[in-house]
Amino acid sequence: MYNQLAALYVNKEHRVGHYFLQDTMGWGSFSSVWLARQTLIGADMAIKVVKSQDFCDPFKEVHSLQLLLHTSIVTLLEVITTKDELYLIQEHVNRDLFQHLRYTDLKPENILLDRDKNVKVADFGFSAQITQETPLLSKICGTFPYMAPEMLLFEPYNEKVDVWSIGVVLSQMLTTTIPFEAQNRVEHKFNILTGRFPVPEFLSLGCQDLLKKLLTLDPDERPAFDDIMKDRWLNMGYADELSPYREPAQEGLNPQIINSMANMGFDKENIITSVTEQKYDPVMGTYLILGNDNHHCPSEPGTDDHHCPTQPESDHHYPNEPGNDYYHCPTQPVSDHHYSPTLQKNSHHHCPTQLISHNLHSPTLQKR
């Protein structure tokens, strides 16, 4: 069950549960992201606030994050619900992928870098699951410059839309410009649907070949993710070929963290129950924060060894045109009486279905 009791602590001082909301990090079409301080141990967190009435399924992102355990995906720590809002407490990652290139809006804001320059993928609000029963999806959602042509044509699609988005991001990283870009959206869409984009001559032939494969109009002709990781250009200079991420063997709860929390006043049995049953309440959130290698949290509240500048979230805009985030979904009011769906046991450690992350723009390829 998600933490509904913490909703009692939402007040005009921008406090929710054990978190003080400090600064706005960014605004999206359906949510806002805040830098917050966890009052128990003084750690910086990122809190995504979703207006329930503005989104068809505000828990979609929660369910997606529960299915994923990956070092390159932002960790969900706690979920707090109120009548009108959903609060997703997540680890704070302090810079986006293009910060070092110093470009303004031309950046995939959902691909982040932590302070050790490790990639973290965030924002699963537009994610969807592909199963054997539903191998194709039809809802149109995402950010326009990164949308695959089949989605723009309102055709059923599968995970190959993410392959296209990887190609857009890769091209943007290599050339500092978005492929298919034009002076207005009509021309931009025409370029996408016709596959017209310039490939700079300064790119190596291997790189050009990969871009052309990723940005192939026919989704059936685009490479699968396993084939992308076998690409010669991506593996250049490495002894071992890229391989899919393998989840490490599960270990028991960390007794050192449990003892530290017990010294803070937490009950040991409650800690074990909260984490093993994945309640995403303040107890589980505190445990995950203390166990996160990216947070060197002080043992006493009030001290601070974090130096994490805030990072705004941005959308891609054309001059004199409205924002480009898409989500075509029938209006569906959300009742506060349905804020506690049952969690799948151990779902955080297994991924039986495939996720399509329309607004992620790029999954991470890790060298193993």
Residues catalogued as catalytic: 105
Check if the beta carbon of residue 36 is closer than 8 Å to that of residue 318. no
List the one residue out of 318, 324, 323, 314 whose CA is nearest residue 146: 324
**One-letter amino acid identity for 120?**
K
Q: Of all helices (H) and strands (E), which one includes residue 71?
A: none
Angle, CA of 112, 117 and 119, to the nearest 5°: 40
Distance in angstroms (rounded) separating the CA atoms of residues 334 and 57: 8
Residue ranges of alpha helices (H) inside 145-297 are: 149-152, 160-175, 185-194, 205-214, 225-229, 255-263, 268-276, 282-291
Q: Of all helices (H) and strands (E), which one includes residue 61?
A: helix 60-66
Sign, CA torsion 352/354/357/362 = positive
Q: How many residues does the chain have?
A: 368
List the one residue out of 340, 313, 363 whose CA is nearest residue 95: 313
Distance in angstroms (rounded) separating the CA atoms of residues 48 and 80: 10
Q: Which token pair is 28?
A: 């999206």
Check if the beta carbon of residue 146 is closer than 8 Å to that of residue 168. yes
